[in-house]
Amino acid sequence: MSQVQLESSLSKNRITTGRSAHLLKFKEECKRFIFTQKIGFLALLVIVAVVVIAILAPVIAPYDPVTQNRDAFLSGPSSQNLMGTDDLGRDIFSRIVFGSRISLIVGFVTVIISITMGVLIGMVSGYFGGIVDMVIQRIMDAIMSIPALILALFIAALLGPAIQNVIIALVIIEIPRFARIVRGEMLRIRETNYVEASRSVGAHAFRIILKHGLPNMMAPIIVMASLAFGQTIIAEASLSFLGIGTPPPNPSWGLMLSDASRYMESAPWLVLFPGLALSVLVLAFNLLGDALRDFLDPKNSS
């Protein structure tokens, strides 16, 4: 074997060994999470179950969520309709199953966009400081000075009732929260010895931010993301409840609760089942966020 082939073989072996070590460490961390954060793991199972239900909604739901049945107005839970029907004869169970798609899509898209923009803004603000930091933080202060729900109502009402407009409103609300936390972490990281060493050898600012800043703040970002999921799901339901969120006849949980408010005494199942689904999913995300916060705390890593 030639020298070049030998070096190539050794390089491939090192890469394979490195990947195996990372995979083994990941498996060990997963086991530690399961055994040390049992409530958080249970919450994760609930979230995974809801995701599976949302993906398989056409298979799981026995009826079309928007199809009306004139012979089954406000009928209670039965073998034909597991959770009853609403005032238009639509199957509540099918609408809840399809409604999980809207909640998860709004939550996922909002959190992904908010994390991307909030982390970028926060790292730039915290690393450069000075006039850059001042301008960015004053803009964040202006957004956060307005109550979140009031701001979301204004933006959603201005843009009109649509899922994409709800996402835009929620992203504007969530970005400052991520940016503030990330800025605080970046202020700490930029003073560390390894960042000073990178500066001394002429490393570019954005290389330092991405190589040293981002990896060292992943723990708080993950925790914030899990908590933000629950917040955005509640916010979407609130906007839909008020009539400026997801437009009918889409089966949004908030819209279902709004329509059911007129029949709370005569048909309590209209409020019970959507409210229970919303509460369970939001509680699961909050419990997962608390568990991740404890799990990723360096004091508990032993």
Mean pLDDT by 10 residues, the chain (302 residues): 50 56 73 83 92 92 86 82 85 91 90 91 86 89 86 84 87 90 84 75 74 78 86 88 81 86 84 91 90 75 52
Task: Assess if residue 237 is contained within a domain.
Answer: yes
Task: Identify whether 70 is part of a domain.
Answer: no
Token digits of residue 250: 């889409």
Q: Is the pTM of this model over 0.75?
A: yes
Look at residue 165 in the predicted model and tell me its pLDDT: 87
Host domain of residue 169? 35-62+86-300
Q: Are 44 and 281 in contact (CB under 8 A)?
A: no
Does any domain span residue 74? no
In-domain check, residue 199? yes
Q: What domain count does the chain have?
A: 1
CATH code (residue 109): 1.10.3720.10
Q: Are the C-beta atoms of 170 and 235 separated by less than 8 Å? A: yes
Which structure tokens are listed for 97?
A: 């199953």
Which value, to the nearest 10 degrees, does the dihedral of the CA atoms of residues 110, 189, 141, 157 take? Answer: 0
> What pLDDT does residue 185 have?
84
Q: What's the CA gap between 253 and 282, in Å, rounded?
A: 12
Instruction: Provide the 10 A C-beta neighbour count for residue 200.
Output: 8
Cis before 249 (ω within 30):
yes
Helices (H), ranges, 129-252: 130-144, 148-159, 163-189, 193-200, 205-208, 218-241
**Domain for residue 77, yes or no?**
no
Q: How far apart are CA 184 and CA 121, in angstroms?
A: 12
